[in-house]
Amino acid sequence: MTSCEHCHCVYISDPSIECIHRLDVDHAATRWPVNDRPQRLSVNAAHSLLVACHRVRKIKEFSSHGNLLRELTLPGDVTNPWHAIQLTSGQFIVCHGGRDDPVNRVCVISADGRRIVHSHGGQRGSDTGHYDVLMCRLHHLAVDNNEFVFVVDANNRRVTLLSPTLRYVRQVVSSDKLKWRPRRLCLDVERRRLYVTDNERKDGEWTSGRVVVFSVYLPCSSHAAHSCY
């Protein structure tokens, strides 16, 4: 789910029937087909909706009322893309990798979707240069105004901060601040708050959950991550 302040609406991804629901502030509800299974959503600077379609390795861009504007097929080694956010440069931040994939990572993808510009991650692991999303579908991103990247790392039970070129900066949320596993996050830049969902899984089912709110200090410039966080 994501929202658009410009269009005054909320978008909801519905993988079960492969569509997007739009709910306006006046309670009007519409929906449109994606024709692939949608996952995470984001809104770009042009107020268009970006939909990550993991099975076909695509980003689909729709107008606010559901007109398909373009499709980008990602490079072949970007398997199972779960979330995509477009930067001011036109490039995309994409997180990808699932249960059966050898690589779990975050990438900066060129504006045409054809080339990996930067990446962070690799084979699944627990050190600072790796991610572990063995549970699948638990990749999620947030990007601040200076294009620093917050990454949910579910099985390692942390939120990692990366620079705009995807250099490791630090852990914003460590495992001792969480009770279970983080699944989603939302960054409120104005209030400097990071909202992280924390969920319990038992016997293959998600059984409990909560939202944990953290205060974050956003960088003053694109060069100030180490000093301002």
Q: Could you read off the pLDDT of 152-190 as tens digits, one per residue?
A: 887 777 888 999 999 988 888 877 888 888 888 889 888
Looking at domain 2-178, its CATH superfamily turns out to be TolB, C-terminal domain (2.120.10.30)
pLDDT at residue number 62: 98
- Give percent of the chain with pLDDT exceeding 70: 87
Say whether 35 sits in a helix, a strand or coil: coil
**How far is Cα 224 from Cα 218, in angstroms, rounded to an integer?**
9
pLDDT at residue number 222: 41
pLDDT at residue number 124: 57
pLDDT at residue number 130: 55
Phi, psi of 9 (to 5 degrees): -150, 170
Say whether 54 sits in a helix, a strand or coil: helix
Q: Where exactly are the structural domains of the chain?
A: 2-178
pTM for the predicted model, two decimal places:
0.86
Given 3-state DSSP classes, what are the helix, strand and coil percentages for the chain, each rounded to the nearest 5?
A: 5, 50, 45
Q: Could you read off the pLDDT of 100-147 as tens digits, one per residue?
A: 777 788 999 999 999 999 988 755 555 565 565 544 455 789 999 889
Nearest to 96 by CA among 87, 88, 113: 113
